[in-house]
Structure 1
């Protein structure tokens, strides 16, 4: 944890919250509304006030994007509803994991727990090299020194649980080799890349007609400027420049099709979620694949991380089902 702001956002949208408390009878007074439950399971109640506290960074972002009247914007309201559900689910997950830590006797003894909390806290503080800057960062992120330490405490305990969940996860050489064989382009000496152009159409019929025009010798850039639905094509003639084979910013179906097109030729119509493409492979730059032994441990580490995350996610989802969580959406 090197940045307090990142910690706050992680707490808000994906990770965990501070311990929940019970709520009293619900009335329509502001105080009672804050105490109204948004979720219950076992002896745990998560209140509207607790959810609202964790939603504060999201509200700040919505205000920055949509203005103070964000609540009247349909898109902002939809985003707000989505984020509330995600934040609430992460709060529930945290409470369940902390309960499991107690049940499995995984909570460190107090002296060791305090030592780890202070170490992580000091590491964050040292990153700022200035007391004033550190306190300003805490304030901007919505933390006090006490609440940051409470957050760290929960995550230390949660780390013990995730370690326990994943203690038996292993990746052998055979699995590494299988991944290596199926993903050769990830292990080239330099990233393979392709210079590609495309024309984007709404329908397959339109794409077929464009392909016929190109087959008859019409200039690709000229046709792209004339008919492509991609705004940038009006200037670029559909030219996307060089793209690395594994560039995650591009649709996977599009990239697979582009790579499959022989250099200097044009594809048949290809459908993606964006529409129908006619793709031109202008030039490929491909490099030798590194030997398996030189990348085996990197593959193992990546697969271990992925499989551990899946094991943790699956386990927590099962714990949530077992907890029989009751939601009070009308109170959110």
Structure 2
């Protein structure tokens, strides 16, 4: 019994220590930059968009003459996020332990590549660093999380065979074909009258790229002369460009100008088509890495559940919660 109490105390202290380090990592506005984040075991605590680090005591707010104690906040956070956070911590430890057991090696160059990939998903380096600062994180913290993600990825991949990849390709070949793509530029302005003036200039032979740099209000493409790159119909329709944009772009010949189109946000835009890439049938070689990524995403949670089933795990958080419940709820 004494041994069990000692072990329980050690675990509680470890959970408490980890809790004090918890960081908010992905606010809503940044979630779209983390498409491969399923492999990163990120510990998240979100309360009304306000970010906290846990500490042991003190007052966190005064409302009129009433104080909100740190222990009240901690209790509320534990009630809402305690179990999920503990689950993520358990998974992270299991992945590390299994990585050691299976002799998984992660090089610094692999970590750097993934971190660079992650940063590239943000509009700028400043936006990424701003998120780190707001989340009380450092680049070192990110590297640690990326390392765990890479270990997990290698463990899951280890169980995949070449035959499984090929079978998946054969069963889903059509979905891996490269659809037709259209290369576009656009100029966006606030008023319809201004759009009409710009369209007249373009029809007289004005340079589209230069006018986009000078007059477009689209900050994401302005400096590139309005260049949106090559996009499929589906990418245009489902993205922020919308169905009307997609229909217009795909109806134009190379070099053609659109009529004035109203954007989903109420602005006005003119499109110019610069090129087309015809539909390309899929090949296994070109689709292999994409298939691998998809299978990793599908198998990750199941793999983590298998690790938990095989491991010896003692949970004490649930015991504490039962003790705190009023007798009438039991």
Where on the TM-score scale, by shorter chain, does this alignment land: which range?
Answer: 0.3 to 0.5
Q: Which has the higher contact order (CA 8 A, sep 6+)?
A: 1
TM-score with structure 2 setting the length: 0.42
